[in-house]
Structure 1
Amino acid sequence: MIWHIPQYAWTLMAGIILLSYLIGSIPFGMLVSYIGGMGDIRQIGSGNIGATNVLRTGKKKLAVLTLLLDMGKGSFAIWCAYIFAINYTVQAESLAAILVVVGHCFPVWINFKGGKGVATGLGVSLALTPIAGLLSCIVWLLAARLSRISSIGGLSAFVAWPLFIMIFNHLDLKTPLLFPALLISLLIFFRHRTNIYRLSNGTEPRIGEKNQKN
């Protein structure tokens, strides 16, 4: 079972939980915006620290850099879990996957007011389940491009990711990595609850629009 971990190994798991949370808490959107001369990204557009809000500054390169760094920290947390807990990789990677996204959404450094988890979650999906993750990224890109709405891309990707995992595992609901995928997807949907409301009434802004709520 995924959570069958000997008592002596829980100290290691606690370290992975803390490390993953701290990795996720790095507010790359804020750092990139400051270094790029755009000031505090929290004072622009939606106030979110993610790539979509960075894009509203008009600096596409900064937005792409934010996206890549946020994805990278998701993958990096999984890699660290694999290295440090080689004998319990599924358990460690599952914990790392969940906590790095939690860290991005609720970073300790900025009063627990972070991003919505899509980029970091995609980075996790690529490292944790490469094929399902890649397909989910494709869904994200296609949905965002066709709708020109960032939230539709993100939400579509995290409907698709658990489904792809189940399909590749013959619809086995006991597939170990399905649990973290579902938990991350639920968290991302929770973080997008205002977006879902605006989607329902047709007021969700499109990609590239400035000074709009996201």
Structure 2
Amino acid sequence: MIPGSSDSCLIQFAKAPLLGAVKTRLEPSLGKAGCVALHRALVSWVFSRHLPVGQVDSEVWSDRKHPFFDALLTPAEVPFRLQEGADLGQRMSHAFADRLPHYRNVLLIGSDCPGINGNYIAAALKALQTVPAVLGPARDGGYVLVGLNRPCPGIFEDVPWGTGRVMEVTRQRLMANCLQWLELDTLVDIDRNEDLHYLVSSVERELFFKKYLTC
């Protein structure tokens, strides 16, 4: 563990907000500029939701540096790190391999799920007190959170990212490594047109839109 820090680390993965590179499945509905605006809003919202959690050291990892991250992270004194790897699985593997030697628990979340909050993170940390792994299922068949308290070789290899089989394959990887895991409540990622209904009908929609999408 890093001296003077928590024994747990929460990594938020977030793509740089580049035109034509984020939320591409929503471009027919929102346009490229709208997709960038939504992506920036979601990254900021998810960051604001986990930042107050005192049980973890927060970090944001991205595929490249961008002024957006400087503006978001500098006031909160949260570290920024560059992802390493040719695909998502390799980048996730590297993040866990890099942080697990320093922390008892490592959680990794994306920036697509507005439903993640402090209670959800606390539940994940509680799960890791009894099992080696925890997963937060997504409604589309993926997951919004993965947490480990020990290395799990191969868990992120040859996973069909972006499909409805991500969670199924991940469960298979955990079983192949003889690792027990717990699953949290199923939440929604905002990736597809049908997911936008959840965003605009969620309990906190007014705060989300007022804070991030009205300027």
Q: TM-score range, shorter-chain basis?
A: 0.3 to 0.5
TM-score by length of 2: 0.35
Greater percentage in helix: 1
More strand by share: 2
In the superposition, the TM-score normalised over structure 1's length comes to 0.35
